[in-house]
Chain A
Amino acid sequence: MKISGGNYLFPAILAIMGIFLLAGCTTDHRFVKKTAFKEADAIIIEFAGPVDEAWAGNASNFEVYEKPDPDIKLKIQKVTVSADRKTVILTFADALNKNQPHILTMHSISSEGKSMGTAILSVKKVYLGYLFSILIGAMIINNFVFTKYLGLCVFFGTSQKKSTAVGMGITFTIVIVVSAMMSWFLYDFVLQPFRLNFLQIVVFIGLVSLSVQAVDTILRKVNPLLFKAFGVYLVLVIANCIIIAVPLILADNQYNAFESLMLALGAGLGFLTALFLMSSVRERLELANVPPTYRGLPIAFVVAGLFALAFLGFSGMSIF
């Protein structure tokens, strides 16, 4: 029996993705091991080696602001250095808003008299609840279809029947996860180091069509049954604007690998939810007594508007 190459290809791809995921978890500066919030009003910074007390004691070496407001610098009340000089705790005058990522700048870090360069890091709550809130946020609270009005042409085109809607939703979720992970990787490791951020739209469009083509080619061979069921919608995915919105959002927010994965998954599942809800209503509308002028697409728009109103009820909700 001939062993097909496909058996080894998928574990290999998974292993490579895993390495990238791990790489995405480290901080951006080689001398800083970890940054995290501590209690209500402090940030803790762990260094790879001992820092000089004279440098750390000077509060003007540290600059912290909330990501949306770079002009408002937070007031640092006290800098505490631990006994082994590897941990520094910044205490602030006011309590921190931990829902916002904070940007921490450390000017010319000095360790044993040597300069380690300036570090610009973002401090975020990193725990499962935060990832979960990104997922639920993208899926329900900021549903791409009902609150951002993206991807409407595919949404109306494929929501006439429940089976079509579910097929489209699942295909879309697979493709968006693949393309968002690739976009995150290219943005973090290629575009940003080469200062080519202004080319992000070109690159992301190329990546979307690449992932659609790749899924098409592989699925056709590996699982012809699934391809027969989903192949029709695969081409439609390219024409969807959610799939280009997600990479742009994650580039704008500087998301790491896990956050990007959660955003993509949330966007995909949110689209699936929207399609399923819409198709359930439209199947019933076929039997309803709709005035002739409103039959078909017009009533679908009205229903979508009502759904959007209903989803407005979720706005401003925070989970954790």
Chain B
Amino acid sequence: MDPVLIKLALGGLAVLGCIGLFFGIGLALAAHKFAVEANPKVEEILDVLAGAQ
């Protein structure tokens, strides 16, 4: 196969991987920073209830 195409494909993989990693970490940090403290009892009570509705 044409080495230019292989280079393009590998470069694309690397670039998109970097973009994905960058935004993934950014989103994770944002989620950490803007975390909303939920009352753990809400979850526990929901677990105990039947949950049919």
Contacts and interface: CB of A to CB of B under 8 A. Distances in A.
A194 interface: yes
Contact of B34 (A194, A195, A196, A217): A217
Interface of B: 8, 11-12, 15-16, 19-20, 23, 27, 30-31, 33-36
Contacts of B15: 190, 194, 196
B9 to A, nearest CB: 10
Contact of B36 (A6, A186, A221): A221
Interface of A: 5-6, 9, 186, 190, 194-196, 199, 202-203, 206, 210, 213-214, 217-218, 220-222, 224
Given A5-B33, A190-B15, A221-B36, A195 B27 contact: no
Contacts of B36: 220-221, 224
22 contacts: A9-B33, A190-B15, A194-B11, A196-B8, A196-B11, A196-B12, A196-B15, A199-B12, A199-B16, A202-B16, A206-B19, A206-B23, A214-B27, A214-B30, A217-B30, A218-B34, A220-B34, A221-B34, A221-B35, A221-B36, A222-B34, A224-B36
Contacts of B16: 196, 199, 202-203
A210 B20 CA distance: 10
Main secondary structure of the interface of A (DSSP, over half): helix
Main secondary structure of the interface of B (DSSP, over half): helix
B10 to A, nearest CB: 11
A228 B39 CA distance: 17
A263 B30 CA distance: 28
Given A5-B33, A217-B27, 8 more contacts: A6-B33, A186-B19, A194-B12, A199-B12, A206-B20, A217-B34, A220-B36, A221-B35
Contact of B30 (A194, A203, A206, A218): A218
Contact of A210 (B12, B23, B34, B35): B23
A9 B31 CA distance: 14
6 closest A-B pairs (Cβ-Cβ)? A221-B34, A196-B12, A217-B34, A217-B30, A217-B31, A210-B23
A70 B31 CA distance: 48
A222 B33 CA distance: 11
A203 B17 CA distance: 11
Nearest to B28: A217
A56 to B, nearest CB: 35
Contacts of B12: 194, 196, 199
Contacts of A202: 16
Contacts of A206: 19-20, 23
B28 to A, nearest CB: 10
A224 B20 CA distance: 28
A210 B16 CA distance: 14
A222 B30 CA distance: 12
A186 B23 CA distance: 12
A220 B36 CA distance: 7
Contacts of A222: 34
Contacts of A217: 27, 30-31, 34
Contacts of B35: 221
A174 to B, nearest CB: 16
Contact of B19 (A195, A203, A220): A203
